[in-house]
Each structure stands twice: as C-alpha cells, then as structure tokens.
Structure 1
Amino acid sequence: MTLDIRHLAFAYDDERVLDGINLTAESGELLGLLGPNGSGKSTLLECCNRLLEPDSGTVSLGGTSVGDLVADERARRIGYVPQAESRAFPASVFETILQGRRPHGGWTPSDSDRAAVEATIDRLDLDGLATRNVGDLSGGQRQKVCLGRALVGDPSVLLLDEPTSALDLKHRLDVMDRILGEVRDGVAGLIAIHDLNLAARYCDRVALLSDGRVYAVGEPDVLTPETVRAVYDVEASVREHGDRRLVVPESPVDREPGGSPALDRPADTSVAGEPVATDD
C-alpha cells in the first residue's frame, strides 16, 4: 500500500502551516518527518488521517483518496499514534488496545477482536500487564500500549507523532525497534521525530520540513551540515560511525537580530522525479 501526498496545503485561519507538500511512503518503508517546532510535522500527520481537513491537495492510499473513505474504513487502513499522552488512562492495557478494533466490528468485541488484542500484547511483550491500568505504567510501556492500539487493527499505514519524545534512551530504542519491525512486515510508516540520529538510524528516507514546505528529502545522507543549518538554524558536524550517520549539534547560528536561516534549496529536491514543493 502506497501513501501518496500531493500538493497538500493547510492553514490555521490566515497562518499557512503546510504549503504544497509532495511525499510518498511505500509499504515496508519508514519515512521520517524532521524539522523544528512549528514546521508542520504534526499538522501533516493529522491531515493524512483527516483529523484536519486540508485546504487543498490530496492524500491517497493505493490510489484511493483518504477523503473518499468513510470514517471506519479510514480507521481500519490507518493506524495513528499521537504524541505521548500524559493523562491517566481510566482503562486497562487490554481495554485500551481493544479500542483499536472498534472500526472492525462496533462497540461489542467479538472473539476474533479479543484474539487480535491477545496477539498484539504478546508481540509487544506486554504479557503480564493486560489487566494493569495504563495510567500506572511507565512511559515506555504506555507508548507500547498506544502502538498496540494502532496496530491491532492491522493497518496498511502507520502514522506516528513523536512516539519517543518522552522516553529514556533504552525505551526509545525499544519502541523504534518495534515500529521498524511492523513496517518491515509491509506497513507504510510516516513518523514525525525530533531526534536526528534516531531518524538516521531507523528511517529509510527523511523529509526535512521548513516553514511548511519540504526543504529536502532523501536517504539519511541528506542530513548534511548545510541542511541542518538551513532548517534548524544550528551549526552541526556530521560523522560516519560504521554504516550510520551521526549528527552532532555544535552551536546556534550567530545571526543579527531579526535574521533568519537561508533556505536556498539544494539542487536535488525531487520525489520520484517531481518537485518537492510547488506553487500550484
């Protein structure tokens, strides 16, 4: 299943947040969305599953517009993991993951729904926690429960909004390993992520967003000192460690008051031969 985003635009009132986004994620591929706060990452994910209605442009799954799908069909095809939830859940692990089966059969769970929850709990190593209140779990355990809720419906596309932002190093790696394993089983993954090194390690490709547009997209080697400087306004060095790319931030760019990063686009800014961002 291919997730195809074309010419997507969105604004809050008069503030343009997304401006002509073109991106594609294939089955088995994890595409990382990078960029500073306010660059449009979360908004893009919410437009992809119609939590927000785009002003223009299309998001399609396997050639079918997401906007043409009824709500339950959209929920069956797209699994969504929002940013880490800090509130206490008034439900058990089993009940929370079971919520992800509702689009498959309504509010009364079937035997197959319960079996799917049990299988998801098993593959996420949540055995022994099924009856625990989610609010009593650690941050890493809660994130795996949220991931399970998205996966239990067997989606074709997985949208993840900074799923590791509230986790320590060990749990970040654990959650990312789980995500990549699910993607490799044939899911198209789109993940908003702040940690450039996690993105370089786990993502097949990355797209850097700036001012609501795609500044550059490609394999992790697109993370160069020049692109980091332009998008984040930070001086950085980039080093190779085995087959991995490491981005080491050095210092904020020293600018005059009121200055802004230079956003001249690099020469290769295309996706499948098309412009990354367009004005139409």
Structure 2
Amino acid sequence: MLQASHVSYTIASRTLLNDVSFHARAGELLAIVGPNGAGKSTLLKLCAREMAPASGSIDVLGKPLRGYAGEQLALFRGMLHQQNTLTFPFRVGELVLMGRYPHYGAYPAAADYAIAEAALDTVGMRPFSNRIVSTLSGGEQQRVQLARVLAQIWDVPDGLLLLDEPTTGLDLLHQHQLLDVARQMARRGYAVVAVLHDLNMAAQYADQILMLRNGRREAYGTPRTVLTAPLVERVFGLPVQLLDNPCHHCPLIVPIPIFQPAFSHYSSNT
C-alpha cells in the first residue's frame, strides 16, 4: 500500500531523517515509535505529502506519491494531526461533514450525512453533534477530529489512515478506544500508520513497529522482534524488563527507574 524507500529529509542543513525505508500494508496497523526528536512526525508528514523528501521515494498503491493530484490524494488519504486549530465556531456535525468534501460537488448527499453520523458514532461523539467544537474538552475535540478523518475515507477501498500522536489529550479509556478504532480500520482493509509514544500501546495494537532514533531506522518488524529490552534501553536510554502481557499476546514493558532523587543535593537545616 505505502512503500517508503531510502527516505531522507533535511532542513537548514540539519538532517531530520536519513535513509528510512518501510512498508505499510493494507490490513495492518504500523506504529512509528522512538524518542523525542527521532523524526516520527516528520516521516508521517512526508507520507501525507505535506512535505517532500530530500531523497528517496514514497509510493502509494504502486504509484509515486508525488504523481497524485491533491484532489486525488484527498479521496483516499486521511491525516489526523497532533493539533487542529479552528478559526470559526463550527458545530461538531458540520466539522465531521467537512471530511466528505472531496467526495461531493456543491452539496453533500444523504450518503455523506449518513457516513458523518456513522463516524461520530464510532468515536462516541454523536450526542455532541450540535455542540460548538471549541466548547468541548481537548480530548473530545480530538475524537471529533478523528471522526472527520474517518468520514473522509469511510467508504474508500484501499484507504490510507495516518495518525500523528492520536492519543494526545485522551484519558485511558479513550486512548484504548481510539487505537481499537484504528485497528478496526486496518481489519477493514485500510493501511493505518500511527505515531505513538506509549510502547505498551504500540505492542498491544500494532501489527508492525518502525522504531526511529536520530532520524534513522533502528528496528522494523513485529512487536516481539522490535520491543526487546536491549533495543529499548539503547534507543530510549532507560533499562526495562519485558514480561508477557497477561491479557494479550504481546510483550509488556516495565521501566526500571535509574534516576537520583531530584532534591537529594539539598541538606535540611531543621
């Protein structure tokens, strides 16, 4: 579905990505993980064609990404950003319906409204359809934005769903619900690529994991092959112990704190 080959990206003589390759397949969820500044979001933006690589190539459905017109790309590629700024006081239903813009002319059809409602149902936000988006909590707004992106590609075969830190601002329940939705989309035949910070969530929900460090590919494969204790310690600088997750067939990562007490150098005069 999505093939990145030897992709590099530089800005102001600084290399943010260097010779990164991976393959996101239809029917699978690929998680991109790594420490801060590893190049995760940059790579996702390249895959969305929001930026162009300095070298290497990205193909979608066997065709160079740069070969698609913007209107063509919008028909099957949905992108959820970390932050979504709204200028106008849109209602929830109006915003989600915007995801259908690439699929209709002057006016949405009944099917477009039905898809927008189904997307809102999927993220549990349909009761909020008439609320002004800016009056919602940050986590609720994130779920509405996900519904908008889902509506965009809802009825498209061979769809591509790109999620940049999608669990930001969500509580524990809705983090898992969102990633379950992402996995369900993959099971429907979509290729789903998500930037995640929580390694245990990546282990639980991803079919494949791409681990980056300093803009380079450090590891790529299934959760069990990528999330090993030596590799996690090397990439993140923190010792961990791996256990078998008692509820899922995946590793469970337990950090081993190595930090000194923050105020140990102060002496008490009392």
| Cross-structure match for 2:133 | 134
| Cross-structure match for 2:180 | 177
Question: What TM-score, normalized by structure 1, do the two folds share?
Answer: 0.85
SS at match of 1:132: coil
Give ranges in structure 1 of 5+ residues lacking alignment: 255-280
| Cross-structure match for 1:264 | none
Report the Cα offset of residue 57 of structure 1.
Answer: 1.3
1:247 aligns to 2:257 (yes or no): no
- C-alpha change, 1:125 and 1:166, in structure 2 (3 Å) is closer
Q: Quick check: 1:5–1:58 contact (8 Å CA) kept in 2?
A: yes
SS at match of 2:99: helix
Q: Pick one of 228, 233, 241 that aligns with 1:229.
A: 233
Partners of 2:124 and 2:69 in 1: CA distance: 33
Partners of 1:36 and 1:87 in 2: CA distance: 29
Matches within 5 A, 1:45-194: 45-85=44-84, 90-106=89-105, 108-154=107-153, 156-194=159-197
Report the Cα offset of residue 216 of structure 1.
Answer: 0.6
- C-alpha change, 1:107 and 1:7, in structure 2 (3 Å) is farther
Partners of 1:90 and 1:231 in 2: CA distance: 43
- C-alpha change, 1:147 and 1:233, in structure 2 (3 Å) is same
1:199 aligns to 2:202 (yes or no): yes
Q: Deviations over 1:206-249 (max 9, x none)?
A: 11101111101111112111111111111111111232311111
- C-alpha change, 1:178 and 1:124, in structure 2 (3 Å) is same
> Which piece of structure 1 moves more, 85-94 or 23-32?
85-94
Q: Quick check: 1:237–1:248 contact (8 Å CA) kept in 2?
A: yes
Partners of 1:227 and 1:235 in 2: CA distance: 10
Q: Please provide the CA RMSD for this pair.
A: 1.9
Report the Cα offset of residue 94 of structure 1.
Answer: 1.0
Q: Which amino acid aligns with 2:185?
A: E
- C-alpha change, 1:119 and 1:57, in structure 2 (3 Å) is same
Report the Cα offset of residue 87 of structure 1.
Answer: 6.4
Larger radius of gyration: 2
Q: Which amino acid aligns with 2:236?
A: Y
Q: Quick check: 1:81–1:163 contact (8 Å CA) kept in 2?
A: yes
Q: Quick check: 1:89–1:133 contact (8 Å CA) kept in 2?
A: no
Q: Deviations over 1:109-145 (max 9, x none)?
A: 3333223212222333322211111122233322221
Question: What TM-score, normalized by structure 2, do the two folds share?
Answer: 0.88
- C-alpha change, 1:128 and 1:253, in structure 2 (3 Å) is closer
1:238 aligns to 2:253 (yes or no): no
| Cross-structure match for 1:26 | 25
Partners of 1:43 and 1:169 in 2: CA distance: 26
Q: Which amino acid aligns with 2:144?
A: V
> Which piece of structure 1 moves more, 55-64 or 105-114?
105-114
Q: Deviations over 1:224-276 (max 9, x none)?
A: 1111111111111111123231111113599xxxxxxxxxxxxxxxxxxxxxx
Q: Quick check: 1:235–1:253 contact (8 Å CA) kept in 2?
A: no
| Cross-structure match for 1:35 | 34
Q: Which amino acid aligns with 1:45?
A: L
Percent identity over the alignment is 36
Partners of 1:193 and 1:240 in 2: CA distance: 20
Q: Which amino acid aligns with 2:235?
A: V
Report the Cα offset of residue 64 of structure 1.
Answer: 1.0
Q: Quick check: 1:197–1:247 contact (8 Å CA) kept in 2?
A: yes
Give ranges in structure 2 of 5+ residues lacking alignment: 261-270
